[in-house]
Structure 1
């Protein structure tokens, strides 16, 4: 039985972190692995809110580090479901460094694929996605293309 469709806004998630000394790499910047962990959590929360199920991370693609974050920076992570298949969801997480004056600069963008699991930890269907804005429709179309590329890569064992 297909679950009701949900709006993108119903699962949108925002997390804020302050970069602390424990998060810094040898170059005085935010350690990429730490940022990846924060992004994975945001993607998981989005997918869980959309599916109302336990979820698991299947893949990560398009993880682009555009700029560094430094100690005491305020890091804002914003995630939203961009595309859904039968059991999977694509989640985009944008990461910003927020300045004291509130201006946000994009430092990272990532796409995660999450799969909903049933009580036996088997993939299960997810709700459809209601697209309300042109941006949401554009993300959906791009998500379809990324999904097709992922399928092709699996077939080619790439």
Structure 2
């Protein structure tokens, strides 16, 4: 007998965010560039904030960004879009964490809450710091 295709099978083929939802916010007028789109620097700032939140929780304290991979912007972020930033731990070292960050949007006036569009992604390398700003070892889990 042949397999019966269901709506759930179709949904599994649709890519979606990976990792934990870390930030969810609305793109506001103050975040636009001169063309009225949301500035790429604002998007990167939200990504770094999500990486910092994730790293600080895992490192149990202060962390800093030391590197991030290149990124491509797949679509513009329009004013009023609901912006979701997802984070996923990729790797840990002695003092560092690699965290993949993805940005997805729900455009303004979109009726289907499942119609998210991927904007960009990057891997952030974060290091744990002590109170004096020196690199420290990550705590044991």
Q: Distance in 1 between matches of 2:40 and 2:140?
A: 33
Q: Which has the higher helix share?
A: 1
Q: What's the TM-score, normalizing by structure 2? A: 0.77
Work out which of the two has the higher radius of gyration on C-alpha atoms and give 1 or 2: 2
Say which SS state the counterpart of residue 58 (structure 1) adopts. Answer: strand
Maintained 8 Å contact 2:60/2:139: no
CA drift of 1:128 comes to 6.8
Map of 1:143 onto structure 2: none
The residue that corresponds to 2:25 in the other structure is 17
Aligned residues: 119
Contiguous gaps of at least 5 residues in structure 2: 1-18
Q: Name structure 1 gaps, 5 residues minimum.
A: 1-10, 130-158
Name the TM-score, length of structure 1 as normaliser. Answer: 0.69
Superposed, 1:2-151 pairs within 5 Å as 12-98=20-106, 99-102=110-113, 103-127=115-139
Pairwise CA RMSD = 1.9
Deviations 1:78-114 (A, max 9, x none): 1121111111111111000124421211111011111
Q: Following the alignment from structure 2 to structure 1, what is the Cα–Cα distance between the partners of residues 131 and 84?
A: 33
- Which secondary structure does the structure 2 equivalent of 1:48 belong to? helix
Contact between 1:66 and 1:106, CA under 8 Å: does it hold in 2? yes
